[in-house]
Chain A
Amino acid sequence: MRFRHIVSETFTGLRRNLTMTLAVIMTMWVSLSLFGSGLLASQQIDLLKGEWYDKIEISIFLCTKSTPGPNCTPGQDVTQGQKDEIERTLRNNPEVAPEGIYFESKAEAFAEYQEAYRGNPLQGVLTEEDMQESFRVKLKNPEHYEGVISAVVGLPGVQTIQDLRQILDPFFQWLNLLQWTAIIASVLLLVAAALQIGNTIRLAAFARRREIGIMRLVGASNLYITLPFLLEAVISALIGAALACVTLVTGVYFIIVQRAQPSLQGLRWIGPYQTLVAMAGVAIVGLLLSIIPTLITTRKYLRV
């Protein structure tokens, strides 16, 4: 019965302040959607980079039976002796970072391939045997890649050398810029939303000061007095967060699933898991953003 009373007070309050409630919901919706998009963008970038991008600079792919190359014997995989030679050359090279040489076996490469193309029509095309073994190399100074490449490029067993960073770094820089712009814009909007909630609570507390005064006189506990305000703020924020989640899901569905994925099949795209992560982030931030300003404002204006 006490609970029912509090719930009815909350809904009366929401209705009385309808325009402000709507304003809070809309601000929350927009700012949380932007924030969620930032989270999705960041996850997408991670997916595009894949397993190795951040860790190493140069990838040296080794010969297999089916890959042609200037240093490859047709129909033959790279031999152990050739692999040892390549590794020794790398170890002796002054530009290679200490502990910066990784070897990826066919099994590991296959596992990564499965992971990257999961759900993608290309998934079943290659087998483990088709995978290339590779050396992944981290440099002391990413600018000084030429020395390492020239040392290794002529060695038997080396099929091709990729320095993806050269090509893709500008692209990722641009993506990072987009991502950070989204996040900064969302942070500013979220701060605005928090201030708006604080203001709404302040006005509501002022409008109800008579009732609040009498409640204090009659001995209502601080929780009893603050609870309706808290619930109002949380409900508005949760509605805004729910709308933001719907926006994110719709966005991912129409932009990624319907358009980007079919047309750019070779890339890894965000999917349900990443969307769920973004929605969880949105829900948590939405809750915090409603509770914290409310507690601060009620402490200040209710003199509890």
Chain B
Amino acid sequence: MIRFEGVTKVYEGQRRPALSEVDIDIEKGEFVFLVGASGSGKSTFLRLILREQRPTTGRVFVAGRELNRLHSWKIPSIRRQIGTVFQDFRLLPNKTVHENVAFALQVIGKPASVIRRVVTEVLALLGLDGTGDRMPDELSGGEQQRVAVARAFVNRPKLLIADEPTGNLDPATSVGIMKLLDRINRADTTVLMATHDSTIVDQMRKRVIELDEGIVVRDQSRGVYGY
């Protein structure tokens, strides 16, 4: 699903590379934690997958396509196959919950009737029944993140990327979100999650990739946060 071959990324004006000679292979259906201190390269790793940045050297493959080779006008179609969840939720503040989730379907041109049905389904699936007409700022952090997960999931993407999704949430709510991500993973979506949250990583015992100053120092199949 995701393959990094000898990927190095040096940002302009920086001396130390953000990522250095990274070789990673993530198969379809896996659930992978990406851990490491701040500045270890986790966000860069995710940005390369979304093609917000391009590697300085090396190749990045997503769903078998080499990202560097793609024309910039093909990038949107790649991004439609990737759901994203962020620490700051990134919901549109002037739209209701329903409209926020519908947005992901609108931009790919699905007809209004389909959108209405699918969005209602997904909201129910994620325990957000009845919140459809509320505005994001009326919701708690946990609910907002659920909406973000709903939006990421509504297109049934092959890959879901989460960048510190529990960063702004309390432990109990975090568990709720992780259960959602686990269910999504079991429905055959590859999940890649960058996180600082050691409790969660320890609890779930999934594959753990650890980055330190841009280098992969650990890649364990049923790992914990620390050694």
A residues near B (Cβ < 8 Å) are: 1-2, 5, 210-211, 213-222, 224, 304
Instruction: Say whether A219 contacts B78, CB under 8 Å.
Output: yes
Is A219 a contact of B73 with CB atoms below 8 Å?
Answer: no
Please name 30 pairs of A and B residues whose Cβ atoms are closer than 8 Å in the assembled complex, sorted by A: A1-B111, A2-B106, A210-B92, A211-B92, A213-B90, A214-B90, A214-B92, A215-B103, A216-B76, A216-B79, A217-B50, A217-B79, A217-B84, A217-B90, A218-B79, A218-B80, A218-B103, A218-B104, A218-B107, A219-B76, A219-B77, A219-B81, A219-B82, A219-B107, A219-B108, A220-B76, A221-B73, A221-B107, A222-B76, A304-B72
Q: Which of A2, A210, A222, A304 is in CB contact (< 8 Å) with B109?
A: A2
Inter-chain contacts of B90 with A (CB < 8 A):
210, 213-214, 217
Q: Told that A215-B103, A219-B80 touch, could you supply 14 new A-B pairs with CB distance under 8 A? A: A1-B111, A213-B90, A214-B90, A214-B103, A215-B107, A216-B76, A216-B79, A218-B107, A219-B81, A219-B82, A219-B108, A220-B107, A221-B107, A222-B73
Main secondary structure on chain A at its contact with chain B?
Answer: helix
Q: A221 with B76: in contact, given A211-B92, A214-B90, A214-B92 (CB under 8 Å)?
A: yes
Contact partners of A215 in chain B: CB under 8 A = 103, 107
Tell me the complex Cα distance, A219–B107, Å: 7
In the complex, the chain B residue whose C-beta lies closest to that of A213 is B90
Q: Chain B 52-80, CB within 8 Å of chain A: the 1/0 string?
A: 00000000000000000000110011111
Nearest chain A CB to B176 CB, angstrom units: 23
Question: Which chain A positions have C-beta within 8 A of B104?
Answer: 218-219
Q: Is B151 an interface residue (CB 8 A)?
A: yes
Write the chain A residue with the least CB distance to B103. A218
Q: How far is the CB of A225 from chain B (nearest CB, A)?
A: 9
Q: Which residues of A contact B217 (CB under 8 A)?
A: none
Residues of A near B82 (CB, < 8 A) are 219
Q: How far is the CA of A218 from the CA of B151 in the complex (A)?
A: 9
Residues of A within 8 A of B109 (CB): 2
Question: B interface vs A, CB < 8 Å?
Answer: 50, 72-73, 76-82, 84, 90, 92-93, 103-104, 106-109, 111-112, 151
Q: Which residue of chain B has the shortest Cβ distance to A217 in the bound complex?
A: B84
Instruction: State in angstroms the CA–CA spacing of A2 and B105 once bound together.
Output: 10
How many Å from the CB of A272 to the closest CB on chain B? 45
Most buried by B among A1, A210, A214, A218: A218
Q: How far is the CA of A220 from the CA of B109 in the complex (A)?
A: 9
Q: Cα distance A2–B109 when bound, in Å? A: 6
In whole angstroms, what is the CA distance A215 to B81 when docked? 14
Residue of A nearest to B104 (CB): A218
**Which residue on chain B has the smallest CB distance to residue A2?**
B109
Distance in angstroms from B15 CB to nearest chain A CB is 26
State how many angstroms separate the Cβ of B27 from the closest Cβ of chain A: 23
* Distance of A5 Cα from B79 Cα, bound (Å): 21
Q: How far is the CA of A222 from the CA of B93 in the complex (A)?
A: 22
How far is it, in angstroms, between the C-alpha of A224 and the C-alpha of B103 when the chains are bound? Answer: 12
B-side contacts of A222, CB under 8 Å = 72-73, 76
Bound Cα distance A139, B75 (Å)? 67
**CA–CA, A210 to B89, complex, Å?**
12
CB neighbours of B107 from chain A (8 A): 215, 218-221, 224
Chain B positions within 8 Å of A2 at CB level: 106, 109
Q: Which of B77, B107, B151 has the largest count of A CB atoms less than 10 A from its CB?
A: B107
The residue in chain B whose Cβ has the minimal distance to the Cβ of A1 is B112
* Distance between Cα atoms of A211 and B107 in the complex (Å): 12
CA distance A213 to B107 in the complex (A): 13
Cα-based distance from A210 to B103 in the complex (angstroms): 14
